[in-house]
Amino acid sequence: MQTTLGQLTDWMNAWAPWDTAEPWDNVGALVRSSEVVTGVVCCLDITAGAAAFAAEKGCNTLLSHHPVIFHPLKALAPGQPAVLAVKAELNALCAHTNLDKAPGGVCDLLARAIGLTGVQPGQKFCRVGTLPAAVTAAALARQVGAALGIAVQYTRALADRPVQRVAVVSGAGGDLYDEALALGAQCLVTGEAGHHDFLDAAALGLPIIAAGHWGTERLIAPELARRVSGAFPGLPVFPYVEPAPAAWLAGPGEG
């Protein structure tokens, strides 16, 4: 029985509704090359590597977290991800902020990966949960780095601050420190945080641990593949995890 792009789009909508994406986001079927889906490669980003992997596996559909078209394209060039998808006759289905927020989505995966229990949602992206025992912010930074296999940055001025209730926001969530505090968090773990996010949160007594955009979101590719395989038995489905830049993998712990 054939699987269609429409069926895959509807399935994603049932898990992470398209209308829950942020107004500034761009989600859904952003490149339509074929209605019939021959196979799916699940990835964080649509890149040349992901497109080549799809071709190798005989798949014509990329299901990604990050949109293949995010900002308006004013010109086209051969190496652009959207152009690669069109030239390779690939579908590109992209679930971004709707999948960050979804139950069992990107933020929940991050919370699970760093060992939080009793995880509860905040207003939008934040999740908050509890560690088995209190640790210092520096110790938690090392734990996060080890769990995600990546170097991290953290608020060294608050290195000795005891931490047990932790908020997480995958990707670029450093500016959500106010929401983390409102949820009673003693630390915020995210992917990216700006200089002033670190300073402002520190002034409020909240350490931030930043483990990189890739580090906090790459977990979604295997989870997408697992769920798509369960929903569409017999459809070839593969995860593709793009290697991180070497500089990000200097070692778990302090960045």
d(CA 41, CA 120): 30
Q: What's the whole-number mean pLDDT along residues 168-196?
A: 97
Task: Give the pLDDT confidence of 162-174 residue by residue, as tens digits.
Answer: 999 999 999 999 9
d(CA 219, CA 107): 10
Long-range Cβ contact pairs of 79-88 (< 8 A, separation 24 or more): 79/48, 81/45, 81/46, 81/47, 81/48, 81/51, 82/30, 82/31, 82/46, 84/46, 84/47, 84/48, 84/51, 85/31, 85/33, 85/46, 85/51, 86/31, 86/33, 88/51, 88/54, 88/55
Domain boundaries, the chain: 3-99, 103-216
Please tell me the pTM assigned to this model: 0.92
pLDDT of residue 243: 81
Res 250 pLDDT > 50: no
Domain 103-216 has CATH 3.40.1390.30: yes
Q: What's the whole-number mean pLDDT along residues 109-136?
A: 96
Res 242 pLDDT > 90: no
Res 248 pLDDT > 90: no
Res 254 pLDDT > 50: no
Domains 3-99 and 103-216 alike in fold: yes
Res 73 pLDDT > 90: no
pLDDT of residue 253: 36
Rg over alpha carbons for the chain, rounded to the nearest Å, is: 19
Q: What's the whole-number mean pLDDT along residues 194-205?
A: 97
d(CA 133, CA 53): 42
State the residue for tokens 């209730």.
Answer: 165
Structure tokens that stand for 51 in this block: 């497109």
d(CA 59, CA 123): 37
Lowest average pLDDT, out of 94-108, 161-175, 239-253, goes to 239-253
Higher pLDDT, 119 or 250: 119
Bridge pairing between strands 28-31 and 40-43: unpaired
pLDDT of residue 32: 97
- Provide the mean pLDDT of the chain: 94
pLDDT of residue 171: 95
CATH of domain 3-99: 3.40.1390.30
